[in-house]
Amino acid sequence: MTSPDTGGDREKVVTKLTSTLRQDLKVRAALHGLDMQDAVEAGITAWRGLGAALPSVDTGDAESYSTFLPSGLWDGFRADCKKRGISLTQGIAQAVTLWLADNPVPEVKRPAIVRRIVVCNQKGGVGKTAITAGLGEALAEDPAALVPVRVSKHFAALLDTGEGRTDPLALEDLPGLGQRVLLVDFDPQGHLTKQLGQEPLPMNGDSLTNHMAGEGKGDLRELVVTVDEDRFGGRLHLLPACTDAFLLDVRLASVRAREAALERALRAVESDYDVILIDCPPSLGLSMDAASYYGRRRTNEVAGNSGVLIVVQAEDSSADAYGLLTSQIEDMRGDLALDIDYLGLVVNHYDARRGYIATSSLQSWMDIKDPRVVGVIGDLKEQKEAVRAKRPLLAYAPRCEQSVALRALAREISK
């Protein structure tokens, strides 16, 4: 059945399509940046050009499906189906199947130089660990599946809703980013390790601290574990913490070129990943120097590929801590002539219902501009529930407000 499309030269077509083909078509069209109707048009055009019917497709559970096609295309397709002795339902199934075969899932774009994202703030309790984990999860999601994302242009709406969240309808389904991600728990407290359901490394074994001190007992790869959730497809890994990191600053004091110690240790695994995220301790010691140095811009690396991501809260004490941290980073920049890029500010645990302090503080962060606010993450229950369940947030509650915002953050700093 057809009906005219008053908005242009297309006509509405009502046919039948299986739920599996419809979902595959929706995802694949999005991956290629196409409207579904354009993909169907291309499939029908290619099918008609073959001059013969393709192998039969199972259409047993086909349901009503409508789309818009150029005027006249459906009539020609109907005539071809009749000539080939097949139903319209079978014909459209073959056309969509043909388009899917001709348009496979695009390869994920890999960075020329591994991205190194240093998540930091010397103030404890701002949620660095949750941001590190959530950002890594968002970067690693399935590139052949669609996930809900809220784009960054809606940040400003937080100042107007009075509810601590943006319009729930302002979402867009986008493909997962499909990056190979290593999360490094650089905090001796081991919150990232425990949050993801893993155990800290034993004190009498090998650790990142040993490798940074030049006393590694084996291959660093042997310490890495996979975050075992289907939606990450084996792309999300963790280098667990060890409580020996409490002694890291003392051990680094006697290490040659100690600011490069983290880079020397992680160089062995860099080729395995697209992105490495460092969950820093709440400290301004030598370990923070090593993390900042690791995030510096390398030779031939484009600006903004790597750098520091600062997590703050919408309250006054975060501003004081931010000043201390940026002073240390600026000192490193000047003393060692380094290019250390600020990837942005993430305002975490935001809830406008806390009143003027929260809203005015958020506005103050947004007024800074350099570094700019790249994410606003609400203070909602799902994150706490995921920590209790020892599961990644984006696997525990993939459609919650925090998951949606973390995906937006991943895309904002990947531009």
The highest-level CATH class for domain 2-102 is mainly alpha
pLDDT values of the chain reduced to their tens digit, one per residue, 415 residues: 445 444 458 999 999 999 999 999 998 998 888 999 999 999 999 999 997 778 999 999 999 999 999 999 999 999 999 999 999 999 999 999 999 999 998 888 889 999 999 999 877 788 899 999 999 999 999 998 889 987 654 454 454 444 444 444 467 888 899 999 999 999 989 999 999 999 999 988 999 999 999 999 999 999 999 999 999 999 999 999 998 888 888 888 888 889 999 999 999 999 999 999 999 988 888 999 999 999 999 999 999 999 999 999 887 777 778 888 889 899 989 999 999 999 999 999 888 777 777 888 888 888 888 899 999 998 889 999 999 999 999 999 999 999 999 999 999 998 7
107: DSSP letter: P
Fold match flag (2-102 vs 115-412): no
All structural domains of the chain with their residue ranges = 2-102, 115-412
Classify 326 as helix, strand or coil: helix
Structure-token pair, residue 83: 């000539």
Classify 10 as helix, strand or coil: strand
Strand order in 2-4's β-sheet?
2-4, 10-17, 63-70
Longest dimension (CA), the chain: 83
State the fold for domain 115-412: Rossmann fold (3.40.50)
Burial (0-12, 13-18, 19+ Cβ within 10 Å), 280: buried
> Would the pTM count as exceeding 0.75?
yes
CA distance linking residue 152 with residue 85, whole number of Å: 51
CA distance linking residue 156 with residue 282, whole number of Å: 29
What's the CA angle centered on 247, arms 242 and 248, to 5 degrees? 80
Structure-token pair, residue 305: 């590929």
